[in-house]
Amino acid sequence: MLSNYHTHSNYCDGKASLREMVDFAVAHGFEELGFSGHSPLPYLNTFSIKTDKYAAYCNEVRALKAEYADRMKIHLGLEIDYVPGLCEDFRPLIETGGLEYTIGSVHLIPQPESIGYIRSHPTEAADYLWMIDGAKYERYDEGLQRLFGGNIRRGVRAFFEQNNRMIESQRPTIVGHFDKIVMNNKDRYFHYDEKWFLDLVYETVQLIHETGCICEVNTRGIYKGRHYDFYPARQTLRHMNTLGIPVIVSTDAHLPEDLLHTEGAYEFLEEIGYRNVLFRLT
């Protein structure tokens, strides 16, 4: 069956309306579509749902869910950024939005010494956050230098520790791209198979296993030409298979046509005999 639960729209940084995403999915035989807009954040940015638009987003997804009920199942979710000092408790967004599921992700890493200041001055947070995502690796480099003094191991460790705290404290339905720190690294500062890095990856994998969360197999880096592997990487998926961790393939769609870009993920999972591949959450 065709499904996708990591789907954005023009409520955040997607480039199409909710309805356009739904119509494309229906036309291509999808049975399940989950919307997961980027969660509101209390500072000015270009990628998240605006706080005053959150209710409209939730209401429109619910309206489409009812309208298309005889053609496809639509689900209301949110990709919630876990950011110490800014967004550490998912419950208010879950409860006010009436969410069916969450994707917990880390895109923004605060300088550890600045978390207290961020908490008391949230509108100024952008100056104290390392953005590890996005199309421009120069932004990654600048944040690493400015907030972590260019110490890649310190920055990467902060990224994984943040993921770990999120998994342990929030237990999102789906853990999003938990090794995406590699994308803008581009094999410059470190390589994936270095022991110190793999130790951090596998510590997070163990927490996912212990908490019973689902992990996505995110294909966006490949079809956008920004990375050569899935998130998490193939070697990590092989390790996850030994633990029986449930996975669900997601295209992290920002355009309707992105929904089709599974980039061989299902074929790879079949090739390695992955034991717990999900196509729907319920």
Which among 240, 242, 230, 236 has a CA at the least distance from the CA of 267?
230
Tens of each residue's pLDDT in the chain, 282 residues = 999 999 999 999 999 999 999 999 999 999 999 999 999 999 999 999 999 999 999 999 999 999 999 999 999 999 999 999 999 999 999 999 999 999 999 999 999 999 999 999 999 999 999 999 999 999 999 999 999 999 999 999 999 999 999 999 999 999 999 999 999 999 999 999 999 999 999 999 999 999 999 999 999 999 999 999 999 999 999 999 999 999 999 999 999 999 999 999 999 999 999 999 999 998
State the burial class of residue 275 (Cβ atoms within 10 Å of its Cβ: 0-12, 13-18, 19+). middle
Domain 78-278, what architecture? Alpha-Beta Barrel (3.20)
Strands 214-218 and 247-250 come out as parallel
pTM above 0.85, yes or no: yes
pLDDT digits (tens, 9 = 90+) for 186-232: 999 999 999 999 999 999 999 999 999 999 999 999 999 999 999 99
Q: What is the pLDDT of residue 103?
A: 99
In the chain, what are the domain boundaries?
A: 78-278
Query: Taking CA 59 as the corner, what is the angle to CA 58 and CA 61, rounded to the nearest 5 degrees?
Result: 65
Residue 226 CA to residue 180 CA, distance in Å, equals 11
